[in-house]
Amino acid sequence: MEHDCQKTAALLADYLGGKLTQGDRQRLDLILEDCGDCARALKEMEGNRENAEHVPEADRLKAAKDPVTEASMNIGQVLVIGGLVLVYGVGAYVLCVDIITDAEFVRTGDDGDKVPLFLRIGLPALIIGLGILFTTVLVQRIKTSKTDPYNDVEI
């Protein structure tokens, strides 16, 4: 049966998990009978799955809750969020002040440098709105991560 081994490999996990439709499963059975490479890939996946099942539950949980990994993730998140707040906050402030006060027009007095009123009002409103949305989502994500009932679910 003619097939693409890469496309078949993408279906193997679903095949092992019983997530394929009957037709797809039958088609994959035919491919596995004809293609040694795909059959070997399936055997390898089955072996990996069996090895993973033999890892004690305590070891799996320990690996998932490694304090060094958690600390690194938390530090990384704080640095990224802090950097975004600083860059966004300072940049937004400078931009808004420059646009609202129409600094270039005030400096030169040239009508060509005048910022239109819709930009003087709209751009700061957009920046403030995005800031509020970002802060709201961030606060919700922090609250959810602390109260998420699925945090301690064992796999």
Helix axes 22-34, 36-53, angle to 10 degrees: 110
Encode the chain (155 residues) as per-residue pLDDT tens digits: 677 887 777 788 788 778 888 888 888 888 888 888 888 888 888 776 665 555 566 665 666 667 777 788 889 989 998 898 888 888 888 888 888 888 888 888 888 888 888 888 898 899 889 889 988 998 898 888 777 766 665 55
Compute CA distances 126 → 86, 94, 95, 113, 140, whole Å: 18, 14, 12, 22, 21
Judge whether 113 and 105 are in contact, CB under 8 Å: yes
